[in-house]
Structure 1
Amino acid sequence: MATPHSVIWNTLGEPGFLSAFNLSVDLSYAAQITGAINGLLWTGGAVGCVAAAWTSNVYGRKWTMNVAAVISTIGGALQAGSVNATMLIVARFITGWGIGMMAVLVPIFQAEVSPPGSRGLFVGQHGSWTVTGDAISGWIGVGTYYSSSLSFQWRFPFAVQCLFPLLLLVCSPWVPESPRWLLTQGREADAWKIITALHSNPNSDPDQVYAREEFNQMVKQVEMDAELWLNKGGIKQLVTKPSYRKRMWMGFFTQYATQSTGAMVVYNYIVTLYKDLGFAGAKVLMLGAAYITVAAASNFLAAVLMDRMGRIRLLLIGLTGCAVSLSLECAMLAQFGGTDDLVGNALGVFFIFCFIFFYAGGIDATSYVYCAEIFPNHVRFEGMGWSMVGTFLSTIFIRPLPQTKGLSLEEINGKFGDTVAAHFDEEQYTRRQAGGDPQEMAKMAAEVLIEVSEQRS
Structure 2
Amino acid sequence: MLTSDVRYSWYNVAPGFFEYFNLAESADEAGYAYTNRIIGATSGLFSAGAFMGCWTMEWMCDTHSRKQALLIATLISILGGALQAGAAAIPMFLVARWLTGYGVGNLVTLIPIMQAEISPPASHGFLVGQHGVILVLGYTVAGWTGYGCYFSPNSSFQWRFPLALGCLWPVMLLMVMPWIPESPLLFQDRKDEAYKILSRLHWRDDDPNEHFARIEFHQISQQVEADRILHETETIWDLFRLGESGSVPLLLSGIYVTIGALGNYVNSLLIDRVGRKPLFIIGLSGMMVSLIFEAALWAQYAGSANHPGLSAALFFIFLHLAFYGCCIDANSFVYASEIFPTHIRSRGVAWSVGTLFLTTIPYLEAAPTALATIEWKYFIIFIVLTFINIPIVYFTFPETKGISLENLNGVFGDECVASTMGSSLEKRDSH
TM-score range, shorter chain: 0.7 to 0.9
1:378 aligned residue (343, 349, 361): 343
Distance in structure 2 (CA, Å) of the matches to 1:31 and 1:62: 40
SS across alignment from 1:225: helix
Residues 195 and 215 of structure 1 are in contact (CA less than 8 Å); yes or no, is this contact kept in structure 2?
yes
Match of 1:312 in 2: 277
Match of 1:182 in 2: 185
* Cα-to-partner distance string for 1:39-61 (whole Å, 9 max, x where unaligned): 01011111101111001011111
Match of 1:398 in 2: 363
Match of 1:143 in 2: 148
Bigger Rg over Cα? 1
Aligned-partner residue type, residue 186 of structure 2: L
Distance 1:298 1:68, change over 3 A: same
Residues 10 and 138 of structure 1 are in contact (CA less than 8 Å); yes or no, is this contact kept in structure 2?
no
Distance in structure 1 (CA, Å) of the matches to 2:230 and 2:132: 34
Distance 1:9 1:195, change over 3 A: farther
Residues 231 and 344 of structure 2 are in contact (CA less than 8 Å); yes or no, is this contact kept in structure 1?
no
Match of 2:75 in 1: 70
User: Is 1:326 aligned with 2:291?
Assistant: yes
Residues 45 and 100 of structure 1 are in contact (CA less than 8 Å); yes or no, is this contact kept in structure 2?
yes
**Percent identical residues:** 42
SS across alignment from 2:241: helix
Aligned-partner residue type, residue 207 of structure 2: D
User: Is 1:245 aligned with 2:240?
Assistant: yes
Provide the TM-score with structure 2 as the length reference. Answer: 0.80
1:219 aligned residue (204, 218, 221): 221
User: Is 1:191 aligned with 2:194?
Assistant: yes
Distance in structure 1 (CA, Å) of the matches to 2:371 and 2:272: 45
Distance 1:12 1:214, change over 3 A: same
Give 1:395 deviation, angstroms: 1.2
Distance 1:406 1:217, change over 3 A: closer
Distance in structure 2 (CA, Å) of the matches to 1:330 and 1:130: 28
CA RMSD of aligned residues (A): 2.0
Residues 55 and 64 of structure 1 are in contact (CA less than 8 Å); yes or no, is this contact kept in structure 2?
yes
Aligned-partner residue type, residue 309 of structure 1: V
Aligned-partner residue type, residue 182 of structure 1: L
Structure 1 segments unaligned to the other structure (5+ residues): 1-7, 251-280, 408-457
- Deviating above 6 A after TM superposition, structure 1's stretches of 4 or more consecutive aligned residues are 8-11, 404-407
* Cα-to-partner distance string for 1:316-352 (whole Å, 9 max, x where unaligned): 1111111111111112211111111111111111111
Residues 45 and 97 of structure 1 are in contact (CA less than 8 Å); yes or no, is this contact kept in structure 2?
yes
Distance in structure 1 (CA, Å) of the matches to 2:347 and 2:201: 26
User: Is 1:85 aligned with 2:50?
Assistant: no
Give 1:397 deviation, angstroms: 3.3
Aligned-partner residue type, residue 148 of structure 1: P
Structure 2 segments unaligned to the other structure (5+ residues): 1-7, 375-431
Provide the TM-score with structure 1 as the length reference. Answer: 0.76
Distance 1:356 1:122, change over 3 A: same
Residues 137 and 258 of structure 2 are in contact (CA less than 8 Å); yes or no, is this contact kept in structure 1?
yes
Distance in structure 2 (CA, Å) of the matches to 1:77 and 1:108: 27
Match of 1:343 in 2: 308
Distance 1:128 1:16, change over 3 A: same
Give 1:248 deviation, angstroms: 9.5
Match of 1:16 in 2: 16
Give 1:398 deviation, angstroms: 3.4
Aligned-partner residue type, residue 49 of structure 1: C
Aligned-partner residue type, residue 336 of structure 1: Y
Residues 11 and 17 of structure 1 are in contact (CA less than 8 Å); yes or no, is this contact kept in structure 2?
no
Distance 1:406 1:373, change over 3 A: closer
User: How many residue pairs align between the two structures?
Assistant: 360
Distance in structure 2 (CA, Å) of the matches to 1:28 and 1:406: 11
Distance in structure 2 (CA, Å) of the matches to 1:198 and 1:65: 20
Give 1:229 deviation, angstroms: 2.6
Q: Which has the higher contact order (CA 8 A, sep 6+)?
A: 2
Distance in structure 1 (CA, Å) of the matches to 2:270 and 2:371: 42
Distance 1:355 1:29, change over 3 A: same
